[in-house]
């Protein structure tokens, strides 16, 4: 019976969601269909305006003496989103790893993939539970908003449930058939089930993204919010595709980091050398996927932000130049910490092999460049000044540091940080190898030339187009900067592959020979990702300010104000702590009886 509990919980969760979305739930908001029903608080319905967005008053929001409605919805939404990211991200990672295992014919990959889909089962249950909680508080505290959104998106809600059922069916098949479909065509069929699981999961996210982005950049409605009948227009609003891409890539990075954390947890609690070696290898592979997915993420982020600016200058400036700009400084600090942690993990990894010692002297130079980039990355334009400092500087900008606060400097810094992190990886990769091809010195010189030219180009693009050209090119120059970074990385990797083809080993390579402190770097990466998702998710949602649906449906509740930065950061931080505690609980639960592939 016990093994059926997660499945039963999910079915129960689905029933509750259907109940919540049906119009029999919370009748106060949904009573009285027909003309005028969308105009609240006794206002007369203007002729022909029966489907426009409701104009609410404070009395239209159910009060609660137990919780602050906004905080309750915020926390429930955040928990659900984190778990949703977990269960969308990890299967992507698992299928990639299973596919690598099939191609490489390496049992270790299959074992790792299985181990992690097992861990995900508990997370699926928690995702469903938090999803129900989120739905309930949303309908309970914001019934009229939900009614309005449902009036537009009702068909997509049924689509959501359809994908939900498909995803669950695929998940159960994927997990239960793992050991039965181990070889030949059966294994390929199993991989296909995994791909179907991911397609359904991604489709769920895309549907939910449509609702979320509609609230930011409404489309398919007129100026009063009246739905024009084209649901595709509402779904395919300005921010839908940028958000889909950004979340998809971020999910891969997040999935890798979660798996990495699990591996670090198990590494630290391992008692045998064999276990240590396995979880060390798992942590390394997971981190590789995670950081690899992190590289193109700035592209997606630029696109999303550019679309926000293009849709509404007001939202754009609120986001990056107004009150939320300070949260971007916190974001910069966390991303910098993430890069440092990733580098540190690679530096520690040099100790796995005898040949790694050759590269340890270079660590300090890489660290210097990462630190300098990091400093530029988080230097704010508008400074936090004491009165005597403001008086000495004659304003809120620093005469020497001011230019570092602008986006071109940030873009330049983050690209250089990416390149030097890649250099750490390159050194790690060649640590235990000795090239045997005769042209190896020329190949390395070509790599050095590409790397140097890329840095020069990134700096030139940032300085010239950022400070000496028309502002119209300023944001646009970030794209060739990232393209330069990606080109340099790919070109160096291709040359690296040929230089070290058939290379000799410099010494014994031992998985598991890692200092324990390196594992905390992996935890730091996961916590950084989680925190970032919470903070930037808040910023993205909050730039609507006092609108439920931007410029169409006003928020008239007592909570229709932007909380202070400190308050928002506290809510997100408490959420992060609760979520990470639950993740550790999941890890503990999964490892309790042993997650051995052979059991």
Partner 1 sequence: MRLPKLAQFIIIVGVIYGLLKTPGIFLGKPIPESLIFMYMVLIVATVLLVMTSTDESTEELFRPIRALVEDPKKAFVRNIVFAVTPLIAGYIAYGLASRGGEPPAELRSIHPAPPSRMSAYGRPYDIATLENPLRRTEKEDAELFRSYVAEGAEIYFKNCFFCHGDKLDGRGHYAHGLSPRPLPFKGKDTIAQLSESYVFWRVVKGGPGLPAEGGPANSSMPAWEGKLTEEEVWKVILFLYDFTGNRPREWAREK
Q: Which is nearer to partner 1, 399 or 594 (CB)?
A: 399
Q: Which is nearer to partner 1, 47 or 472 (CB)?
A: 472
**CB count in 10 Å sphere of residue 562:** 16
**CB count in 10 Å sphere of residue 30:** 18
Contact segment (CB under 8 A) with partner 1 among 190-198, 384-392, 443-451, 580-588 equals 384-392
Q: Which is nearer to partner 1, 369 or 446 (CB)?
A: 369
Q: How far apart are the first and last CA of the chain?
A: 19
Give the number of residues in contact with partner 1, rule: CB under 8 A: 69
Strand partners, 547: 554
What is the greatest pairwise CA distance in the chain?
86
Q: Which of 85, 137, 140, 315 touches partner 1 (CB under 8 A)?
A: 315
Q: Is 389 in the site for partner 1 (CB under 8 A)?
A: yes
Q: Is 364 in the site for partner 1 (CB under 8 A)?
A: yes
What angle in degrees, to the nearest 10, is found between the helix axes of 478-499 and 407-430? 10
How many Å apart are CA 262 and CA 86, to the nearest integer?
A: 12
Q: Which is nearer to partner 1, 177 or 476 (CB)?
A: 476
Q: Which is nearer to partner 1, 350 or 586 (CB)?
A: 350
Could you tell me where the beta strands, DSSP code E, fall in 161-278? none
Q: Which is nearer to partner 1, 7 or 403 (CB)?
A: 403
Q: Which is nearer to partner 1, 363 or 495 (CB)?
A: 363
Q: How far is the CB of 117 from partner 1 (least distance, A)?
A: 34
Q: Which is nearer to partner 1, 390 or 445 (CB)?
A: 390
What angle in degrees, to the nearest 10, is found between the helix axes of 516-542 and 273-294? 30
Q: Is 361 in the site for partner 1 (CB under 8 A)?
A: no
What is the enclosing helix (H) or strand (E) of 189? helix 184-216
Name the CA radius of gyration of the chain, rounded: 26
Q: How far is the CB of 165 from partner 1 (least distance, A)?
A: 40
For tokens 């027909």, name the residue: 34
Q: How far is CA 388 from CA 171, 326, 563, in A?
A: 62, 22, 29
Q: Is 323 in the site for partner 1 (CB under 8 A)?
A: yes
Q: How far is the CB of 442 from partner 1 (least distance, A)?
A: 30
Q: Which is nearer to partner 1, 28 or 360 (CB)?
A: 360
Q: Is 310 in the site for partner 1 (CB under 8 A)?
A: yes
Write the DSSP symbol of residue 562. Answer: P
Q: How far is CA 424 from CA 84, 339, 367, 529, in A?
A: 32, 11, 9, 21
Q: Helices in 398-502 by DSSP H: which ranges? A: 407-430, 440-460, 466-467, 472-476, 478-499
Q: Is 515 in the site for partner 1 (CB under 8 A)?
A: yes
Q: How far is the CB of 569 from partner 1 (least distance, A)?
A: 13
For tokens 């489309």, name the residue: 219
How many Å apart are CA 170 and CA 174, to the nearest integer?
A: 6
Q: Which of 28, 228, 313, 570 touches partner 1 (CB under 8 A)?
A: 313
Q: How far is the CB of 467 from partner 1 (least distance, A)?
A: 5
Q: Which of 42, 387, 502, 594 touches partner 1 (CB under 8 A)?
A: 387
Q: Is 437 in the site for partner 1 (CB under 8 A)?
A: no
Contact segment (CB under 8 A) with partner 1 among 22-30, 106-114, 186-194, 467-475 equals 467-475
Residues in the chain: 599
Contact segment (CB under 8 A) with partner 1 among 138-146, 155-163, 179-187, 348-356 equals 348-356
Q: Is 352 in the site for partner 1 (CB under 8 A)?
A: no
The secondary structure of 489-516 as a DSSP string is HHHHHHHHHHHTTTPEESS-B-TT---H
Q: Is 42 in the site for partner 1 (CB under 8 A)?
A: no
Q: Is 326 in the site for partner 1 (CB under 8 A)?
A: yes
Q: Which is nearer to partner 1, 56 or 342 (CB)?
A: 342
How many Å apart are CA 525 and CA 109, to the nearest integer?
A: 22
Q: Is 270 in the site for partner 1 (CB under 8 A)?
A: no
- Identify which of 495, 334, 342 has the alpha carbon closest to the alpha carbon of residue 428: 342
Q: Given the DSSP bridges, would you call strands 553-554 and 547-549 parallel, antiparallel or unpaired? A: antiparallel
The secondary structure of 76-115 as a DSSP string is HHHHHHHHHHHHHHHHHHHHHHHHHHHHHT-HHHHHHHHH
Q: Which is nearer to partner 1, 175 or 328 (CB)?
A: 328
Q: Is 459 in the site for partner 1 (CB under 8 A)?
A: no
Q: Which is nearer to partner 1, 166 or 383 (CB)?
A: 383
How many Å apart are CA 123 and CA 595, to the nearest integer?
A: 16
Q: Which of 198, 261, 318, 478 touches partner 1 (CB under 8 A)?
A: 318
Site for partner 1 in 469-498 (CB under 8 A): 470-472, 475-476
Q: Is 545 in the site for partner 1 (CB under 8 A)?
A: yes
Q: How far is the CB of 310 from partner 1 (least distance, A)?
A: 5
Q: Which two tokens stand for residue 211?
A: 């609702």
Residues that bind partner 1 (CB under 8 A): 309-310, 312-315, 317-318, 321-323, 325-326, 333, 336, 340, 343-344, 347-348, 350-351, 360, 363-364, 367, 370-371, 374-375, 378-387, 389-390, 392-403, 405-406, 467, 470-472, 475-476, 515, 517, 545, 551, 561-562, 565
């Amino acid at each position: 019976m016990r093994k059926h509990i997660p499945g039963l919980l999910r079915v129960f969760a689905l029933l509750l969601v259907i109940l919540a979305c049906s119009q029999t739930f919370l009748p106060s908001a949904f009573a009285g269909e027909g003309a005028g029903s969308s105009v609240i608080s006794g206002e007369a319905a203007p002729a022909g305006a029966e489907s426009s967005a409701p104009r609410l008053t404070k009395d239209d929001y159910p009060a609660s003496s137990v919780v602050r409605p906004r905080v309750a919805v915020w926390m429930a939404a955040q928990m659900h989103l984190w778990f949703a990211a977990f269960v969308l991200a990890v299967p992507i990672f698992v299928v990639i790893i299973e596919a690598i295992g099939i191609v490489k014919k390496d049992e270790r990959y299959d074992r790792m993939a299985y181990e992690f889909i097992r861990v995900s089962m508990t997370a699926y249950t928690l995702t469903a539970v938090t999803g129900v909680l989120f739905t309930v508080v949303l309908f309970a505290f914001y019934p009229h908003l939900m009614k309005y959104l449902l009036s537009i998106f009702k068909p997509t809600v049924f689509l959501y449930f359809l994908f939900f059922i498909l995803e669950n069916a695929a998940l159960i098949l994927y997990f239960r058939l793992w050991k039965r479909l181990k070889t030949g065509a059966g294994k390929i069929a199993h991989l296909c089930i995994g791909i179907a699981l991911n397609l359904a999961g991604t489709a769920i996210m895309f549907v939910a993204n449509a609702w979320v982005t509609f609230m930011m950049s409404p489309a398919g409605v007129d100026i009063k919010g009246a739905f024009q009948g084209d649901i595709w227009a509402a779904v395919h609003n300005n921010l839908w595709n940028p958000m889909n891409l950004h979340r998809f890539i971020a999910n891969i990075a997040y999935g890798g980091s979660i798996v990495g954390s699990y591996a670090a947890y198990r590494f630290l609690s391992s008692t045998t050398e064999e276990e240590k070696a396995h979880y060390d290898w798992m942590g390394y592979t997971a981190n590789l996927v995670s950081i690899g997915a992190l590289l193109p993420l700035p592209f997606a982020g630029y696109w999303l932000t550019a679309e926000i600016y293009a849709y509404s200058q007001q939202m754009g400036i609120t986001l990056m130049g107004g009150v939320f700009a300070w949260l971007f400084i916190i974001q910069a600090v966390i991303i910098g910490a993430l890069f440092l942690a990733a580098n540190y993990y690679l530096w520690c990894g040099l100790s796995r092999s005898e040949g790694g010692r050759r590269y340890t002297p270079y660590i300090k130079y890489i660290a210097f460049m990462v630190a300098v980039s990091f400093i530029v990355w988080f230097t704010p334009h508008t400074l936090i000044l004491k009165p005597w400092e403001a008086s000495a500087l004659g304003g809120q900008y620093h005469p020497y540091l001011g230019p570092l606060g602008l986006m071109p400097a940030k873009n330049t810094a983050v690209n250089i940080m990416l390149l030097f992190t890649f250099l750490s990886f390159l050194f790690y990769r060649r640590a235990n190898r000795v090239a045997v091809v005769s042209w190896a010195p020329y190949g390395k010189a070509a790599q050095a030339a590409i790397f140097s030219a890329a840095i020069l180009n990134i700096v030139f693009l940032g300085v010239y187009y950022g400070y000496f050209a028309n502002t119209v090119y300023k944001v646009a120059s970030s794209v060739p900067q990232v393209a330069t970074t990606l080109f340099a990385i790919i070109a160096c990797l291709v040359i690296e592959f040929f230089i070290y083809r058939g290379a000799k080993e410099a010494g014994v390579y031992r998985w598991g020979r890692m200092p324990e402190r390196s594992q905390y770097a992996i935890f730091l990466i996961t916590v950084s990702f989680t925190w970032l998702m919470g903070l930037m998710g808040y910023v993205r949602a909050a730039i609507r300010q006092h609108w439920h649906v931007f410029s169409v449906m006003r928020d008239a509740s007592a909570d229709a104000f932007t909380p202070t930065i400190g308050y928002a950061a506290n809510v997100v931080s408490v959420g992060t702590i609760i979520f990470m505690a639950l993740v550790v609980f999941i890890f503990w639960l999964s490892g309790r009886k042993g997650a051995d592939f052979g059991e």
